[in-house]
Chain A
Amino acid sequence: MSALKSFKRWFIDPAFSRKKQFLRSLEIFKELRDRDLGHLVQALHSRSYREGEVIFVEGDIGRALFILESGAVELTRPGPGGEAQVLYKLEPGDFFGEMALLESLPRTATATATEKTHLHLLYKSKLDSLLAGEPRIGVTIMSHLARLLSARLRRVTNDMKFIAPKHV
């Protein structure tokens, strides 16, 4: 058994396995098989950000989903006086900017790294390639995005407390 372990350790890339393990821990990818996670690791780009570095600015056209592996990110919008208001603080394992995978429209908030941060980026065209070449991965991601979108829309609909429309 230990011989098999040392044999595997010699052949298997530990950094690659660590990335796969990290992705497996995320809700969005938990249904994927080991091999699918391997393809996903290859589709991701990684980048480190310094403390205070702006990842994207509200109004920038979004084209990628960001997955936070380590560090912390704040999503902010300008308040009435122009000062930045924190909308959400993201922790390792969170992802943001996901709507860019569906449409190339302006970002609705500014994302800033509040400490040394490491992110994985899934670019829109890579997701398109995955949808064509590895449909299982693409469908899993799209299905999760659809559920997420639906949940957010339901919450907004409830929050609005509007009067029942006449034409429905």
Chain B
Amino acid sequence: MSERREFPLVPVLLLGGLAAYAFFRLHHALAPFLLAAAFAYVLNPVVVYFEARGFKRLHLVAGGYLAAAALSFFVYTGLKGVIVEETELLQNRAPAYIQRLKTTAAVQQAALTKKLPLPPKVAEHALESALGGALHAVQELPSRVLALLPFLAHALLIPFIGFFFLMDGPSGVEGLIQFCPSRFVEQAIHLLSEIDTALGNYLRGLFIVMTVIFIVSFFGLVALGIDNALIIAAISGVSSVVPYFGLVMGILIGGAMAFYQFGTAAAALKVAALFLGIRAFEETLIQPIIARHSLHMHAMTNLLVLILGGELFGFLGLVFAVPAAGVLKALATVTWSWYTSERGFDSGGAAGAGVPYT
């Protein structure tokens, strides 16, 4: 019998640590490449579907880009009026929205001061402290949304870099397998296979959720007669990258818009009901399809990695925290599988093996 293959834990940990540090230092520069890789990863199954029929990858990718460009052109032509109208509307009304929110907050503050069983000065001070933070957060909301713009600026760069990722296809993986020492090839394929399953399903699921939320909320807001439906739906869809964040953004921005537009709390409540309905629709119809292939992580783990990702890497961390946790989980699964099989804990065996061959 041969000597046992020992998992090269120290070199792997060392390399992993170096890669994590390099990523931490360079994550701003790497952002478009990571987003482009995710973009290519989501689209790759379409290329693979046609590639299985023998078509050249170059032609499939180039043809797909041309088709997407044509579709985008027709969609833009169709929606151009709405986009221009909504942008102008938002530009013209943004100062008024802020002012209206400030006034509403001031009126509510004054009313509450009278109702509180405290001396007026003390009540005013207490409310100012409590509401000040909330008002400040609301005032900062547009600038926080604008902070996402640099990522939207990658809108052209991501498909451009993604084209090359799509063109390369599986050749990168094949290169890694060729580079791997021959006795570890099977382990390397196991690891790559686990990562592929975890990442691919999560990113594709996320893409489906974002698209569904964008489309359903757009038509829902239009049906309710809310101004800037396209922008609100887009913000809600994009922010769905972070679980529940899309719902919160939709209710906050859509509700505020409805309240300003119609001047009644009922209008804002209708918008809240719409987004809660979308959430229920997503939970009952979309998630069961996606969950079959999801990362199967506890909600608290999800939340923890999102907080850590956001703290360390900002927006990029929020997008990639859960998939990165999925990769770590795949690594742990493969290491455990390696350990149990190499130590002989997985004995295999089958029922009826003792019966003679007849």
- Chain A positions near chain B (C-beta within 8 angstroms): 10-13, 16-17, 20, 35, 38-39, 41-42, 45-49, 53-64, 100, 103-106, 110, 121, 123, 125-126, 153-154, 157, 165, 168
Q: Is the CB of B183 within 8 A of A60?
A: yes
Q: Given that A48-B178, A64-B189, A165-B356 are contacting pairs, would A17 and B183 also be in contact in the complex, using a CB cutoff of 8 Å?
A: no
Pull 19 A–B residue pairs with CB atoms less than 8 Å apart, ordered by A: A12-B54, A12-B55, A12-B56, A13-B51, A13-B56, A13-B57, A16-B51, A35-B53, A41-B52, A47-B177, A48-B178, A49-B182, A54-B183, A64-B189, A103-B348, A106-B1, A123-B186, A125-B193, A125-B194
- In the assembled complex, the CB of A116 is this many whole angstroms from the nearest CB of chain B, namely 13
SS class of chain A's interface: helix, strand, loop or mixed?
A: mixed
Write out the residue numbers on chain A whose beta carbons fall within 8 Å of the beta carbon of B185: 47, 64, 121
Q: Which of B2, B57, B186 contacts A59 (CB 8 A)?
A: B2
Which of these, A16, A41, A105, A123, contacts B189 with CB under 8 Å?
A: A123
Q: For B58, give the chain A residue with the smallest CB separation.
A: A13
Say whether B183 contacts A42, CB under 8 Å: no
Looking at the assembled complex, report how far the CB atom of B166 sits from the nearest CB atom of chain A, in whole angstroms.
15
B186–A62 CB distance below 8 A: yes
Please name all residues of chain A whose beta carbon is closer than 8 Å to the beta carbon of B55 when the two chains form the complex.
11-13
Q: Is there a chain A Cβ closer than 8 Å to B346's Cβ? A: yes
CB distance from A36 to the nearest CB of B (A): 9
Instruction: Give Cα A58–Cα B3 distance, bound, in whole angstroms.
Output: 9
Instruction: Report the nearest A residue to B54, measured CB to CB.
Output: A12
The verdict on B157 contacting chain A, using a C-beta distance below 8 Å, is: no
A47 vs B52: C-alpha distance in the bound complex, in angstroms?
20
Complex alpha-carbon distance, A100 and B347, angstroms: 13
A46 CA to B54 CA, complexed, in Å? 18
Complex interface: chain A residues within 8 A of B187 (CB): 63
Name the contact of A61 in the complex, choosing from B189, B342, B357 (C-beta under 8 A): B342
Query: How many Å from the CB of B147 to the closest CB on chain A?
Result: 41
- Of A13, A20, A39, A157, the residue contacting B357 (CB under 8 A) is A157
State the Cβ distance, A14 to closest chain B Cβ, in Å: 9
Q: Give the docked Cα–Cα distance between A58 and B183 (Å).
A: 11
Contact B53 A105 (CB under 8 A): no
Cα A48 to Cα B348 in complex, Å, equals 30
Which residues from chain B sit less than 8 Å from chain A, CB to CB? Answer: 1-2, 4-5, 48, 51-57, 59, 170, 173-174, 177-178, 182-183, 185-187, 189-190, 193-194, 341-342, 346-348, 356-358
Quick check: A13 and B54 within 8 Å, CB to CB? yes
Q: By CB atoms of chain A within 10 A, which of B56, B185, B342 has the most?
A: B185
The answer on a CB contact under 8 Å between B54 and A121 is: no
CB distance from A11 to the nearest CB of B (A): 6
Q: Give the distance in Å from the alpha carbon of A152 to the alpha carbon of B44 in the complex.
A: 41
Residues of B within 8 A of A100 (CB): 186
- Of all chain B residues, the one with the shortest Cβ separation from A39 is B52
**Nearest A residue to B5, CB-CB:** A60
Collect the chain B residues with CB atoms within 8 Å of residue A153's CB.
357
Please pick, from B183, B193, B347, the residue contacting A126 in the complex, using a CB distance under 8 A: B193
Contact residues in A for B178 (Cβ distance below 8 Å): 47-48
Closest to A78 in B: B1
Inter-chain pairs besides A58-B1, A64-B186, 17 sampled, C-beta below 8 Å: A11-B56, A11-B59, A12-B55, A13-B55, A13-B56, A20-B54, A38-B52, A45-B174, A47-B174, A53-B182, A59-B2, A61-B186, A61-B341, A100-B186, A106-B1, A121-B189, A123-B189
